[in-house]
Amino acid sequence: MNTELADGPIEALTFDLYGETFALEAGLVREVLDLLPETGVPGAPAFVNAVINFRGRVIPLIDLRVAFDMDAREPTIDSRIVVIEHALDGEPTLIGLRADKVHEVTTIHRDITEEAPRVGLRWRADFIRLLARRDGDVIVIPDLDQIFAARGQSTATVTPIHASQA
């Protein structure tokens, strides 16, 4: 998962979080759901504060906005849950990601992508695998391994603490 992307173009599902566009490799995505009744998990961090019933399984619902220091928004008619399959501790696990709006699957060519810059970013640089330029805008391809390992703890300013935690 965290291995270097192949040099070929990336087929990616794009979605919005707080006005920013994110992309996930389409191969990871299992399903895009309308909002479902959620069950809050008391005592769990805001990053993963709920579980949902996805086809008879109880899967965690992750809020990437926490990892990227974005405020939570009230769900709208466009809100969706993107269900992905991702290896957690070596086990393929189904995980739901909150999304404010889901767009199309698009092809991201390698020549428009670049590594996240070290400075000038509000976000933890290690949470971003690649940035892609498109129509003067930027698509963020998050590094889910890093985000999940850090349990979505965002504040990049206190990196040393996170480094020791990771």
Give the interface with other proteins as residue ranges (CB under 8 A).
37, 39-44, 48, 51-53, 55-60, 62, 88-89, 91, 93, 95, 148, 151
CB nearer to other proteins: pick between 33 and 121: 33
* Rg from Cα positions in the chain: 15
Q: At closest approach, how far in Å is the CB of 85 from other proteins? A: 12
CB nearer to other proteins: pick between 58 and 161: 58
Q: At closest approach, how far in Å is the CB of 151 from other proteins? A: 7
CB nearer to other proteins: pick between 43 and 160: 43
Cβ-based burial of 14 (10 A; exposed 0-12, middle 13-18, buried ≥19): buried
Q: At closest approach, how far in Å is the CB of 75 from other proteins? A: 16
